[in-house]
Structure 1
Amino acid sequence: MGIKERKERHKEDLKTRILEAAKKLFVKEGYEATSIRKIAAEIEFSPTTIYLYYKDKTDIAYALHQEGFRLLRERLGTLVHVDAPFERLKAMGRVYMQFAVDHPDFYELMFIMKDPMQYLKEHHPEEEWPDGERVFDGLMQTVSACQASGYFSNMNPVEVAMLSWSVVHGLSSLYITSHFKHIADKCSSYALPDQEALLEKAFGAYVQMMQRMK
């Protein structure tokens, strides 16, 4: 490996360390309480080093936001082999929710925190939300395929896609903020399932409703 390659590898390794430290602190202490100085201390570098790679804290948050979407797209990409459109739509919902369960820190950055969107507004006003749009485009294609198969025939496809996303986002948000757990604990006399099982059952009820729209 030549000098140039070693320098590039060192640069990428350091950027990865910065992002991992930032993600850890965002989750542990909260976004507002996390400063560039704290991130630098976590990796034992000076704040000046971080500014060589990222403009500010929102730049770091947006980089994590992009990494989260890359992971989500990889998971959704495994569903291309599901030929039946409605089955693919259901699978997309389950993959989305499982992603939130497995990566609540990324999920919050991607779909709850306003700061990555603020970064786009300030630094790339010509772009609206490229990462989210790529995922939503895949959802729209699946909804259109469902309509071609006879589902949601009298409905606006954009509205169906927004409804589907809103439902799984709502369920996922309730899960990662422990609201599901709180309700399950309070309603223990009704023998509710554990939190992940409750998430699946709630999604199942939504799927049954969608099936009746055929």
Structure 2
Amino acid sequence: MGIQERKTRHKEDLRKRILEAAKKLFLTAGYDATSIRKIAKEIEFSPTTIYLYYKDKRDIIYALHREGFQVLRQNFQPLMQVESPFERLKALGRCYIRFAFTHPDLYELMFVMKDPMEYLEVNCVETEWEEGERVFDFLLQTVRDCQQVGYFKGLDPNHVAMEAWASVHGMCALYVSGHLKSMMQVVFESDDQEGMIENAFRVLARYLESTK
């Protein structure tokens, strides 16, 4: 390995450490209570080092936001090969739920915390949020394909896609926030959160299928 390659790897490793430390602090201490100094202390570097990679903590949370959407989009891409549009729609829903189960920290940052979206509104133009738009485009195109074979007749595909996303997001948000766990222990005397969400998703899928 050459000197330049080692330098590049070191930079990437440090960038990842900064993002992991920031993600931990954003989710445990809160965005407002997290400072560049605290992130630097978490990885045992000086604040000056972090400023070599990111302008400020808003820049960091946006980087985490983009990272999450890149991972989700990569998970979605193979599903576009599913020939049946409705089966693809169900597969996208299951994939989205699995993402929330597997990456609850990223999910909370992407879809629950308001701070990344506030950064987007102030600092970004449309072309700079390609990851988020492309993820929603997967869903929207699948809804349109479903309409071509008879589902969701007479409905605006944008509204159908938004309703489908909102329904699945509600389940995932309850899981990530811990509200589902508390409710299940009190009401259902069960800890099988994933099983509950899977069953709820089946109910949603049957409802959507009835639109044909």
Please give the TM-score of this superposition, normalised by the length of structure 2: 0.93
The aligned residue for residue 53 of structure 1 is 53
Task: Indicate how the Cα distance of structure 1 residues 31 and 204 shifts in structure 2: closer, same or farther if over 3 A, else same.
Answer: same
SS in 2 for 1:89: helix
Q: How big is the shift at 1:69?
A: 0.9
Distance 1:33 1:208, change over 3 A: same
Show the 5 A alignment for 1:1-214: 1-125=1-125, 127=127, 129-188=129-188, 194-214=192-212
Distance of 1:20 and 1:67 partners within structure 2: 11
Distance 1:14 1:119 in 2: 23
Partner deviation per Cα, 1:38-88 (whole Å, 9 max, x = no partner): 110111110011011101111111111111111111111121231111011
Percent identity of paired positions between Structure 1 and Structure 2: 59
Structure 1: where are the runs of 5+ without partners? none
**Superposed CA RMSD:** 1.7
* Alpha-carbon distance in 1 for matches of 2:10, 2:89: 41
What TM-score do the two structures reach when normalised by structure 1? 0.92
Report the number of matched residues: 212
- For structure 2, the residue ranges without an aligned partner over 5 or more in a row are none
Instruction: Give the Cα–Cα distance (whole angstroms) in 1 for the partners of residues 79 and 198 of structure 2.
Output: 18
Q: What is the one-letter code of the residue matched to 1:118?
A: E
Distance 2:123 2:159 in 1: 30
State the one-letter code of the partner of 2:4. Answer: K
State the structure with bigger RCO (CA 8 A, min sep 6), 1 or 2. Answer: 2
- Residue 121 of structure 1 deviates from its aligned partner by 2.6
